[in-house]
Structures are given as C-alpha cells and as structure tokens.
Amino acid sequence: MSVTISVPEEVYRLTGVSKTYFTNRIEVSALREIDFTIHERESIAVVGPSGSGKSTLLHILGTVDTPSSGTVRFGDQELTGLDDDRLAEMRSRSIGFVFQNYNLIPILSVFENVEYPLRIQRRALTKEVRAGIMGVLDEVGLADYARRRPSQLSGGQRQRVAIARALINDPAVILADEPTASLDTATSERILTLIRDLSARHRSTVVISTHDPQVLEYTDRHVHLRDGRITAIEGPGAARED
C-alpha cells in the first residue's frame, strides 16, 4: 500500500541570493549564494556569530532590503521584481516584525503601539478592530496594561507588546531579530515560549535570528550562517534543501 507524504507549501524560496554593501568604498559581502526554502508553519532559527549575515537575511525576507543578485519568492510571487509600494503593501499585510530593542513608540500607549500597523493601513478604529487589539493584548497577558506607556513596562513586557504588534494583522510570517538579546534567561524562556505558542495558534511561519543557543530548543530547523554562507541546516526536512 502506498503512503502519501504531505509536504508543506513553500512560503519562501531563495535561489542564489547574495548581498553586497559598500562601506567607505570597501566591498562587504553580507550574504553569498544563499539557496534555502522555508515552508508554511515552520519555525526556524538562523544561527551565527555577529557579522555572519543573520540580520541581512531577515531584512531580505522582510522585504526591507533587496538582494544584489539571486531571486526571492514569497508564495507564488517573485519579490525581486516588485516596486517599493508593492513591497510595502505586502510587508504590512503579510509579515510581522519583532525587534531586539522592541522599537516601540515612547509617546504612545501599549494599545496605540499595537494599533499602529493598522493606522499605517488607514484602517478605522471600529468596535471590532478595538476588540481585536484587546484580544491580542490578552493573548500576550497585557490587557490590563493597555493604557500604560513603554517606559512603565519591564523589558519582557515591552517585548510582549512588540509580539502583539507583530500579530495584529494575523501575518503569514513572523520575523524576530535577536528577540531575547536584551533579556535575562528566565524572561527569554517566557518570550520564546510565547512566540512558539502564539505562532502555532495563528498558524504563522516564524524565523528567528539569534546567537542564543536556547532558541534552538524552541524551533524546528536551525540554519547556521558564517561569513554570509549557509554552513549547515539541522532539523526535520533539512534533506529537502536542494
């Protein structure tokens, strides 16, 4: 009897992706010939030392940067041929970002920080939208802090606000750049558990750049970078890479 194996659909396919910067007329190769596929609902850790290309890779996945060569597909869409407006629209609707330093707006309340991506899309703050914001804040355990400013929160609480903001559009992808770097070990574990559980609930693909080894315990596959090259891929499905 034959057995059918279900292969998750591709979210990203990177082919021959390289990125070169020029600093003081010196050429710096941040990424070199990256071939890599990310599937829906995967959680991936991109691991490597400082300067290995982790953040550059996340920026390209997040459409805030473009490769110098190679191609990037997001679902069935070729990204490398899109203009800035189309990329910005895709980014705002399909990708949620979580940053190391939270990137919260100090003068806005917790509620307003989570609402901010919706304001960029010029969505009206209807009763339903307000309920959705409070629902996400409740998911991250901060519904009672909606009126507070970021300065009134701990580091872990600020990161939870950032996670809520990333989830507000129910994105297909969550990109987290060193989300535990500014946190102590216990808080890092709580944040990683939260990202894992919420991404599963929202059916989001997660990519985390990190040099924190504990992140590996919370992700399915581990992509190791050094000097802009993939040196190893570990975890289920690693053999699928071609």
pLDDT tens figures, 39-62: 999 999 999 988 899 999 999 999
CA dihedral for 110, 135, 141, 40, sign (positive or negative)? negative
Written as six digits, the tokens of 54 are: 């982790």
Q: Is the pLDDT of residue 11 over 70?
A: yes
pLDDT beyond 50 at 242 = no
Radius of gyration of the chain from Cα atoms? Answer: 18
Instruction: Tell me how far CA of residue 12 lies from CA of 140, 197, 206, 225, in angstroms.
Output: 27, 22, 12, 18
* Alpha helix segments (H runs only) across 140-226: 155-167, 185-202
Is residue 127 over pLDDT 50? yes
Q: At what angle do helices 155-167 and 185-202 cross, to 10 degrees?
A: 10
Q: Residue 225 class from Cβ within 10 Å (0-12 exposed, 13-18 middle, 19+ buried)?
A: buried
Determine what percent of the chain is predicted with pLDDT higher than 90.
62
Domains located in the chain, CATH noted: 10-240 (3.40.50.300)
What is the structure's pLDDT at 237? 56
Q: How confident is the model at residue 147 (pLDDT cuts 50, 70, 90)?
A: very high
pTM of the model: 0.88
